[in-house]
Amino acid sequence: MMTKQRAASGRDRQDRRDTREDVLIVDGVSARLGGREVLHDVRFTIRPGEFVGLIGSNGAGKTTLLRVILGLVPPAAGKVRVHGNGIGYVPQKIELDPDMPLRARDLVGLGLDGNRLGFPLPSRSRRKLVDEMLRAVDAEHIGNARVGRLSGGEQQRILIAHALISRPGLLLLDEPLANLDIASEQEVVALLARIAREQRIAVLISAHEMNPLLPVMDRIVYLAAGRAASGPTDEVVRGEVLSELYARHVDVIHVHGRVLVVAGRGDGLDIPLDPAAPAAS
């Protein structure tokens, strides 16, 4: 009985909007991994130029949701629709050693035609496009440096340029802030917000901590134990909504413009849920 109520009211949080010009529609997606349901009836939409945070602790299902959207994991139920010029994807890290001969500009160029066979013919227009992308992510000065020798923040910028060069309508980033220091974190967030605004590219960024994204986030998709609540940030990040989602009492505390999500009733069993605490099961 409890469960049913929660499901019903939870769905009301998944706000219904006109979906005609959406770049991404996630419609009632459930997913199973190894027999376990990791996503349950997740639904939300993203419009052109929107900056959306996909927030949840480790194990909440963020990575699976991104993989479903990318088409790498088939959903057990529901469907994903992508409109426009496809998805640009930014993985968490690069696997190259520092000495490996691949320059930042090579990696950006591979965003254009990395899946093609044969050698890339040197062309002026291709080079111009690569230069343009490097400039767009403030990385002109590191264009000739080896990718493996760049810092985490620089690599993120190059990966963003790699994803943007094919002019996608949606940019998907998997925990881009996970390994960054605070300064690079702010740089990357500001850059992404600028790209979303200026180029009208929608951004969906996963993170286990919402605070770095609060100033720029238009909307939020909050995941807990495979269930999602979505909508404008201040409508979703509230005690009642998150309590429903976590199936236990949750307080949302605002401190100096930052948000703290805490579970329990102050009876000595308080558990901070954000960041990185295991979600209620």
Partner 1 sequence: MNHVLTAIVEPGFFGSEPVHVALLIGGVVAVVSGIIGTFTVMRGQSYAGHALADISVTGGSGSFLIGISPLWGFAGTSVAAAGVMDLIGVRRPRGRDLATGIVRGAGLGLGALFLYWDTTHTSTTGATVTILFGSMFTIDSSIIPVVVAFSLAAVGIVAALYRPLLLSSASSDLAVVRGIRVRTTGALCLVAIALAVSLSALTIGAILSTALLVGPAATALRLTARPALVMIWSALIGLAATWLGILLAFDSYYWPPERQGWPVSFFVVALVLAFYLLAQALPAGRGGKPGRG
* Binding residues for partner 1 (CB under 8 A): 70, 72, 87, 89, 91, 93-97, 99-103, 106-107, 110, 113-120, 141-142, 144-147, 149-150, 154, 159, 162
Distance set, CA 245 to CA 34, 230, 242, 259, 272 (Å): 23, 11, 5, 17, 15
Q: At closest approach, how far in Å is the CB of 96 from partner 1?
A: 5
HEC string of 149-183 equals HCCHHHHHHHHHHHHHCCCCCEEEECCCCCCCCHH
Specify the residue, 8 or 119, whose C-beta has the smaller distance to partner 1.
119
Specify the residue, 165 or 225, whose C-beta has the smaller distance to partner 1.
165
Specify the residue, 64 or 233, whose C-beta has the smaller distance to partner 1.
64
Specify the residue, 115 or 123, whose C-beta has the smaller distance to partner 1.
115
Does residue 175 contact residue 213 with C-beta atoms inside 8 Å?
Answer: no
What is the CA 237 to chain-centroid distance, rounded? 17
Specify the residue, 149 or 194, whose C-beta has the smaller distance to partner 1.
149
Q: At closest approach, how far in Å is the CB of 87 from partner 1?
A: 8
Q: At closest approach, how far in Å is the CB of 8 from partner 1?
A: 36
Burial class of residue 12, CB neighbours in 10 A (0-12, 13-18, 19+): exposed
Q: At closest approach, how far in Å is the CB of 70 from partner 1?
A: 6
Burial class of residue 234, CB neighbours in 10 A (0-12, 13-18, 19+): exposed
With H, G, I as helix, E, B as strand and everything else as coil, classify residue 113.
Answer: helix
Query: What does the angle CA 48 – CA 138 – CA 216 come to, to the nearest 5 degrees?
Result: 40
Q: At closest approach, how far in Å is the CB of 198 from partner 1?
A: 24
Q: At closest approach, how far in Å is the CB of 240 from partner 1?
A: 37
Side-chain-side CA neighbours of 138 within 13 Å: the count stands at: 11
Specify the residue, 71 or 232, whose C-beta has the smaller distance to partner 1.
71
